[in-house]
Amino acid sequence: MRFDLIIRNGRCIFPWGEAQADIGVRDQKIASLSVSSQDEATRVIDATGLYVLPGLIDSHVHLRDPGKPEAETLETGTRAAALGGITSVFDMPNTNPTVTDKKMLDWKRQHIIDTAHIDVAMYIGATRENTPLLAEFEQEEGVCGVKVFAGSSTGDLMIEDDEGIEAVLRSGHRRVSFHSEDEYRLRERRKLFEPGQPYHLHAEWRDAECAIRGTKRILALSHKTGRPIHILHVSTEEEFTLLAENRRYATVEVLVNHLTNEGPGCYERLGGKAVMNPPLRNERCHFEAGWAALRDGRVDVVSSDHAPHPKDAKELPWLECPSGLTGVQTIVPLMLDHVNAGRLSLTRLVDVMAAGPARVYGLPNKGRLAVGFDADITLVDMKKQRTISNDWIASPAGWTPYDGKSVTGWPVGTIVRGHVVMEDDAIITRNVGQPIRFQP
């Protein structure tokens, strides 16, 4: 039998367990998990010594396109993702202009086809003006769901009040994703601080109570309307407990940053390059709670919240420097390093970065190594030791908070629907990305 691509001798992570297998790809799909020695292909990859993972997904990125090419574009962001072993990204709507109407959805869909190196989905941003149309917009091709900024946004993307959030939850049926910080408490506490104070006060301003209050309010509205919700970048011990008690309605995302960095030390070391929302917490209990929730299954998805800004902007004093860190290129090496350190298993990593996003967002053809699924594959060398550095970063922003960090475990191949996009730190097939299709 002939295939387009065969991957031989790799150690595969299947939904049913780990096993060595030879995978055959035809017409961009996985066609066989038991290729024979006599079968042939246009391209054969010998994966001896490597792990073969279902294509890893970063379901929370800000590629800044359109509007901020000095920080990121869709082309550079998907290049960075591919170099980091990611086969699909879900891009946020807070661009300039925002992705909140049919015109911008159409533009972005075509822009993905023209420039993306991997597959891309789009969030549609909720506004007070477009709320009645969200049921229609969430069915557009390439849309992974509705995103609500209930705190920490500006302009028409902010919907902070219960009435506005309830209206969003009553428009459509798919799971709605939330930035959950209580905007009223954020405004109240902002008066306590001044520009130029130490960076670690970012975690005092946006304290745990801001996140807890926001999540409680959104959960109550989810119960009231019967609409499922996805709470992004959960970062507090209380939220993990609360959300575990509400599994019927809520799913949980945790960021690699909250699993890797703690305050106040990270602020002393990184300055503005540690400033993000919700903040890297100063209290160790929240850091430990994130790992406990990841280990016991309360976490559904691990993402990067890749949100680049130019280096000079991140060097401004606190309250003047913008919030957000680069991350789409470094999430896989960091998580593989956590696996090697014994903090989670490789199977659990696949669960929260492939199967988890597929389950939460309704991806029928991605997230697992199985016949009929898209041939999205991440090849990793679990023994490879590397040092993450700024000069490896593909984003125009040109920096990572993990510059100089040594890790064990590295992505060595990124395959998108059977196209070998990245191999050994080089992009070898360009612009194969397509808008991702979801269940209705």
66: cis peptide before it, omega within 30°?
Answer: yes
**59 closest CA partner among 287, 291, 367, 380:** 367
Sequence-distant (6+) residues with CB within 8 A of 379 are: 7, 10, 45, 47, 50, 51, 52, 53, 85, 411, 412, 413, 414, 415
Q: How far apart are CA 72 and CA 85, in angstroms?
A: 18
Dig out the tokens for 138 from the structure. 């969430």
d(CA 323, CA 158): 16
Rounded CA separation 231/240 (Å):
10
CA 238, CA 391: separation in Å to the nearest integer?
39
Q: What are phi and psi of 7, to 5 degrees?
A: -115, 115
Please list, in sequence order, all residues whose beta carbon lies within 8 angstroms of the beta carbon of residue 227, skipping any fewer than 6 positions away: 169, 170, 172, 173, 175, 176, 249
Can you name the residues that pair with 387 across neighbouring β-strands?
A: 406
Distance of alpha carbon 150 from alpha carbon 168, whole angstroms? 11
Dihedrals φ, ψ of 387, to 5°?
-115, 120
How many angstroms separate the CA atoms of 1 and 353, rounded? 32
Q: Do 285 and 331 touch, CB atoms closer than 8 A?
A: no
Question: Cis omega before residue 317 (within 30°)?
Answer: no
Sheet hosting strand 86-91, strand order edge to edge: 56-61, 86-91, 119-125, 143-149, 176-179, 229-231, 250-255, 301-303
d(CA 277, CA 235): 10
Residues assigned a catalytic role: 305
Mark 287-298 as b/e (b = at least 16 C-beta within 10 Å).
bebbbebbeeeb
- For the record, the structure tokens of 47 come out as 């994966």
The candidate with the shortest Cα–Cα distance to 393, out of 101, 130, 71, is 71
